[in-house]
Structure 1
Amino acid sequence: MSTDIVQLGELISKSIATIVKTCEDNKITIPSLTDIDAPASEELSKFPAAVDAVNIITAAAAQLVTTISPRQHSLMTLANAHFRTAALRVAIACNITEILREAGSQGLHINDISAKANVDPMKLGRLLRILTLFHVYQEVTPDVFANTRISLGLDTGKSVAELQADPTRKHADTAGNVAMIEIRLDDGAKAANVFLEHMQDPKSAFSYDPALSPCSRAFGIEKTLWEIYRMPEYTSNSTRLNVAMYSLSKHNFLKPLFSVLDWSKLPQDTLVVDVGGGLGSISLALARAFPHLKLVVQDDAAVLADAPKLWSKEFPEAIENKRVEFQPHDFFEPQPIKNANVFLLKHILHDWADAYAVKILKQLRAASTPETKLVIGDLIILPSCHDPNADGDEAIPGAAIKEAPAPLLPNFGAANESPYSLDLNMFGLLNALERTLDHIKRLMKEGGWRIVSISRQNPPSIFWEGILAVPADD
């Protein structure tokens, strides 16, 4: 009988063969950490068989390491994780990737890196070296560091001079990937550091008040994250969040939202209301893809102030043709639009604990017609074991999920960490959460809606999955 480590090794070997064959068949370079001009791992995401292979390798390798390592090593690796994230935060803040990009592939000595970053070389060198253990950078010769394919994911694309001239605009006019990472390393990490205190304080321990989140404790300000971000001293935090959210519209994360409803078959001038839509980044993607839609983006007036500028730059014809409108609205108040064909809630419900989320849903239900559709973009959390109740979810089209092969955890383990980390990020920043499918169904029922279909991403999910609902019978 095969032991777990043999099975894990066989899964890894078979999956590697799949990746090599995919690369050969499609004439793309086999993944390499140092070949920064050929990011093959990103290219592999175009091929379903390769995606499955990558997920299996990631899960199996992590499980294999944990299986054969002394348990104290595994526990200390977890306990020391904050040093890696702290080092990564320093690297981003000090523009290390951009400094190394300008230095060229031969790399740069730590003394020269530190001089450009205006930090102590001995301290910075130790932080960069721990990142080399995880291949974020490479040490080409002693104390000489260079970028890898991984570290180039931290490149804003700006010059070092531009970044240093105005650090508050580091993420402005960028793709947003780095902003998304820095939010986790900055405000997210600060919030995580006080989880224990939040859970032991009688005032916050059993409260889901967003003004009592771990983040508000970390900032020392008893306000919601949104209220904190509106304070002048946190303008750059707010800008960073807007840039990060906009980056989502540039990636394949949209697929579940685009596939859960056949947008192309909706009638001419179908009215889509993007509730809490921020700058309207997802509406912008919808407007580009489906020119027959009319869109209303709703959010706080201060948030919407920058939306016309974004749309005028990215898709001016939508404004010229009056296909988009920007409407200040608090989604806890009665919905002013009573004739919407589609309400869109993208990354909204996960920002709020149940009592608040139900209030949002009820306001939309009160404003809906019998034909109104509700499209939700949120994650669906899986248990880490087989869920026998999941078999019953096949009554909802698209709800079934593919489990990982044994002996991997059914939810793909380490390969599927992202939704669980995002769940804790929501806890830390907003005292909110991601939800399991059963939890979501209960929430929707209480809010007056019924799920009719789901568009899921087989693990690892990244940022959301699509949920389509209709008004429940009164």
Structure 2
Amino acid sequence: MTFSTLRALHAVIGAAIDDIEHVYRERSQGGALEYPSLDEPYYHTAQHTPEEELAESLKSDPAVVTAAMRIVAACSQLSTTVNKPWSGLLEDLMWSEFSSALRFLEAANIVEILREAGPGGLHVREILRLVLELRTNSETAAPPDTVPLTPAHLGHILRLLATGHYLREVKPDVFTNNRASSYIDSGKTVAHLREAPEKKYNDTNGVAAYVGTSGDTTLKSVSYLTDWALPEKRSVSGRTEANFDCCRDAAVVPQTRYFAPFNLAFNTELGLFPWLELPGNEGRLVRFGHAMAGTREHETESQILQAFSWEDLSPGSVLVDVGGGIGSQSILVAEAHPHIHVVVEDRAQVVSTALSAWGPQYAHLLESGRMSWRALDFFEARPAALTVPTLGQVDAPAVFLLRTILHDWNDQDCKRGVLILSESSLILSRLRAAAGPDTKLLIGERLLQHACAGEAEYEAASQSDGATTTATFPFVAKNSPLLPNLGVANILGYLTDIAMMGVFGGKERTADEMAALTLSAGWRIVEIRRMPCSMWCYTTAVPV
């Protein structure tokens, strides 16, 4: 029945395009509003016509998102079915090369260089000249005569990206931005990058910082996944004994238990966060804070506002953003709900960078004290009372927010706080001990679904009234040719799962795993909210 499946996948694509076109026509108010072109850059910091802004914003419309994900799922399944096995295998194996090229694109400031060049683009010789010119202002830059990069090298790197639909090669060796590459733009001018390269990520949406962090720490860590999981596969060739804590004989399996592939990749016994605080990692630490702001892009800007019934909280309610970095999500809550006071908690080194990371947009929140920070490691014992600048001492907050925190840790760490080399306190249990009877726990993370679904799940989905979304329902009807979790359209969640394993020894969880974990620490899940076809969820739990 393969041909019928191929035609069914083709039909899914056609029907989804019809759905998207219907939304654009309906919202264009009689005009012919087009879906945004891949060839046209869209810089978030630039001025746009109302039509351009509407066309871009409609990409986040729930109906458009749902249709788009079906297109991605069907195209991928169709492509994998018909592609030559050897070609498909090599392409999948070699995507690390593409990831490395994306990291280079961001680190070399090429998106910003091409933005200023305009639609005509630049020749690789001129791009390289500007790249090297910007490098010379960095205190850590290697001498120019030691840089091996040539125009030929650069052209090949950029051509790979253009072939993968990042950038456009408008003439031989002449490149310009397209919509995909413009998404990485920091908005900084070349002059600003020349004068203050260390401030590239300040007052940005964090996407460029996320690319830098992911292409550096995450990619390098995950490359050691097999060496970590199967110690006998570790090669000691060319490495010191200290690297693997084993003798020179490669046949001897190392005895040290490395907590995560990250430890092998960076030859350290520290976890990521204390490692980032080591001398020499200052730039990485600052970039990581901004990269967490980039994780807003996991969801629509308003999703954090729809994640919880914020309007039902009484005046003077306190939201504590646990491990919140610079407060990239909770600041949106403070802005939208003046009756809520936000306290962001993180390690002292992170908190020290928070105020300088924000531009003038939120100055009123910072100056009024309605948005504040305090240094507190979530593995440490919590103070008996919470001091809020605008309110004084508060017995217990109304809401604890844990956004992209629990996936950094495995279940043992989340419950017992066992770190790589030492005992630490608890995450969930510490929060439970500090909670009042009405305190809510709000968890913002993906909840993974299985790549299959049973009769019970399909039956529950058919009977749901949609009032409260459950994270275990299939995304498609029972007779759909698509995988019930939408396959590649949702693969980001599963890739992030392995990334968490690679960097932290952590994981993303299914709804059942999250329920068991929270209950073991004294919290009971009462609601799960998610966007259509998305595994990104906000889960509310109450004290047991």
**TM-score (normalised: structure 1):** 0.91
Secondary structure (helix, strand or coil) at the match of 1:233 reads coil
Q: Mean alpha-carbon deviation: is it higher for 182-191 or for 87-96?
A: 87-96
Secondary structure (helix, strand or coil) at the match of 1:154 reads coil
**Aligned ranges for residues 277-288 of structure 1 at < 5 Å?**
277-288=324-335
User: Once the 2 structures are TM-superposed, how far is the Cα of residue 256 of structure 1 from its aligned partner?
Assistant: 4.4
Pick closer, same or farther for the CA change 1:392–1:408 going to 2, 3 Å: closer
Q: Out of 399, 408, 417, which is 1:351 matched to?
A: 408
Q: Mean alpha-carbon deviation: is it higher for 121-130 or for 23-32?
A: 23-32
Residue of structure 2 equivalent to 1:31: 36
**Aligned ranges for residues 236-315 of structure 1 at < 5 Å?**
236-248=283-295, 252-253=299-300, 255-310=302-357, 313-315=360-362
- What letter is aligned with 1:10? A
Secondary structure (helix, strand or coil) at the match of 1:380 reads strand
- What letter is aligned with 1:277? G
- Contact 2:453/2:474 (<8 A) preserved: no
**Aligned ranges for residues 399-410 of structure 1 at < 5 Å?**
399-400=470-471, 401-405=473-477, 406-410=480-484
**Aligned ranges for residues 318-333 of structure 1 at < 5 Å?**
318-333=365-380
Could you report, residue by residue, the CA deviation over 1:62-111 in whole angstroms, capped at 9, with x for unpaired residues? 11111111211211111121121122222222222222222221122222
Residue of structure 1 equivalent to 2:390: none
Residue of structure 2 equivalent to 1:99: 113
In the alignment, the residues of structure 2 paired with residue 311 and residue 114 of structure 1 have an alpha-carbon distance, to the nearest angstrom, of: 32
In the alignment, the residues of structure 2 paired with residue 296 and residue 40 of structure 1 have an alpha-carbon distance, to the nearest angstrom, of: 34
Q: Mean alpha-carbon deviation: is it higher for 387-396 or for 137-146?
A: 387-396
Could you report, residue by residue, the CA deviation over 1:367-426 in whole angstroms, capped at 9, with x for unpaired residues? 222221111111101111115564679799421545135111111111112111211221
Secondary structure (helix, strand or coil) at the match of 1:417 reads helix
- Contact 1:15/1:57 (<8 A) preserved: yes
Whether 1:67 and 2:141 are equivalent positions in the alignment is no
Residue of structure 2 equivalent to 1:157: 187
In the alignment, the residues of structure 2 paired with residue 140 and residue 296 of structure 1 have an alpha-carbon distance, to the nearest angstrom, of: 49
Residue of structure 2 equivalent to 1:17: 18
User: Once the 2 structures are TM-superposed, how far is the Cα of residue 291 of structure 1 from its aligned partner?
Assistant: 0.9
Pick closer, same or farther for the CA change 1:334–1:131 going to 2, 3 Å: same
Whether 1:220 and 2:267 are equivalent positions in the alignment is yes
Residue of structure 1 equivalent to 2:529: 455
Q: Out of 62, 80, 95, which is 1:81 matched to?
A: 95
Residue of structure 2 equivalent to 1:192: 222
Secondary structure (helix, strand or coil) at the match of 2:15 reads helix
- Contact 1:194/1:218 (<8 A) preserved: yes
In the alignment, the residues of structure 2 paired with residue 41 and residue 355 of structure 1 have an alpha-carbon distance, to the nearest angstrom, of: 46
- What letter is aligned with 1:66? T
- The number of aligned residues is 469
In the alignment, the residues of structure 2 paired with residue 258 and residue 207 of structure 1 have an alpha-carbon distance, to the nearest angstrom, of: 48
Higher relative helix content: 1
Secondary structure (helix, strand or coil) at the match of 2:329 reads helix
Residue of structure 1 equivalent to 2:139: none
Whether 1:471 and 2:543 are equivalent positions in the alignment is yes
Larger radius of gyration between Structure 1 and Structure 2? 2
Pick closer, same or farther for the CA change 1:299–1:124 going to 2, 3 Å: same
Residue of structure 1 equivalent to 2:45: none
Pick closer, same or farther for the CA change 1:259–1:175 going to 2, 3 Å: closer
- Contact 2:304/2:329 (<8 A) preserved: no
Q: Mean alpha-carbon deviation: is it higher for 22-31 or for 349-358?
A: 22-31
Q: Mean alpha-carbon deviation: is it higher for 227-236 or for 396-405?
A: 396-405
Q: Mean alpha-carbon deviation: is it higher for 164-173 or for 147-156?
A: 164-173
In the alignment, the residues of structure 1 paired with residue 120 and residue 73 of structure 2 have an alpha-carbon distance, to the nearest angstrom, of: 34
In the alignment, the residues of structure 2 paired with residue 134 and residue 123 of structure 1 have an alpha-carbon distance, to the nearest angstrom, of: 17
- What letter is aligned with 2:268? I
Residue of structure 2 equivalent to 1:427: 501
- Contact 1:249/1:285 (<8 A) preserved: no
Pick closer, same or farther for the CA change 1:317–1:226 going to 2, 3 Å: same
Q: Mean alpha-carbon deviation: is it higher for 269-278 or for 230-239?
A: 269-278
User: Once the 2 structures are TM-superposed, how far is the Cα of residue 30 of structure 1 from its aligned partner?
Assistant: 2.4
- What letter is aligned with 1:15? A
Give unpaired runs (5+ residues) of structure 1.
Answer: none
Whether 1:142 and 2:172 are equivalent positions in the alignment is yes
Whether 1:180 and 2:210 are equivalent positions in the alignment is yes
Secondary structure (helix, strand or coil) at the match of 2:179 reads coil
Pick closer, same or farther for the CA change 1:106–1:199 going to 2, 3 Å: same
In the alignment, the residues of structure 2 paired with residue 10 and residue 39 of structure 1 have an alpha-carbon distance, to the nearest angstrom, of: 30
In the alignment, the residues of structure 1 paired with residue 412 and residue 285 of structure 2 have an alpha-carbon distance, to the nearest angstrom, of: 25
Residue of structure 1 equivalent to 2:46: none
- Contact 1:256/1:465 (<8 A) preserved: no
Residue of structure 2 equivalent to 1:47: 61
User: Once the 2 structures are TM-superposed, how far is the Cα of residue 47 of structure 1 from its aligned partner?
Assistant: 2.6
User: Once the 2 structures are TM-superposed, how far is the Cα of residue 320 of structure 1 from its aligned partner?
Assistant: 4.1
Secondary structure (helix, strand or coil) at the match of 2:397 reads coil
Q: Mean alpha-carbon deviation: is it higher for 162-171 or for 78-87?
A: 162-171
Pick closer, same or farther for the CA change 1:135–1:467 going to 2, 3 Å: same
In the alignment, the residues of structure 2 paired with residue 151 and residue 216 of structure 1 have an alpha-carbon distance, to the nearest angstrom, of: 32
Pick closer, same or farther for the CA change 1:87–1:326 going to 2, 3 Å: closer
Secondary structure (helix, strand or coil) at the match of 1:305 reads helix
Q: Out of 466, 469, 475, which is 1:398 matched to?
A: 469
In the alignment, the residues of structure 1 paired with residue 256 and residue 7 of structure 2 have an alpha-carbon distance, to the nearest angstrom, of: 45
In the alignment, the residues of structure 1 paired with residue 322 and residue 112 of structure 2 have an alpha-carbon distance, to the nearest angstrom, of: 37
Whether 1:121 and 2:167 are equivalent positions in the alignment is no
Give unpaired runs (5+ residues) of structure 2.
Answer: 43-51, 133-148, 233-243, 246-252, 386-394, 416-425
Could you report, residue by residue, the CA deviation over 1:122-177 in whole angstroms, capped at 9, with x for unpaired residues? 11111111111121011112222111111111211122343244444332332211
Residue of structure 2 equivalent to 1:364: 431
- What letter is aligned with 1:367? A
The RMSD of aligned alpha carbons is: 2.8
- Contact 1:31/1:39 (<8 A) preserved: no
User: Once the 2 structures are TM-superposed, how far is the Cα of residue 286 of structure 1 from its aligned partner?
Assistant: 1.2
Q: Mean alpha-carbon deviation: is it higher for 6-15 or for 336-345?
A: 336-345
- What letter is aligned with 1:417? I
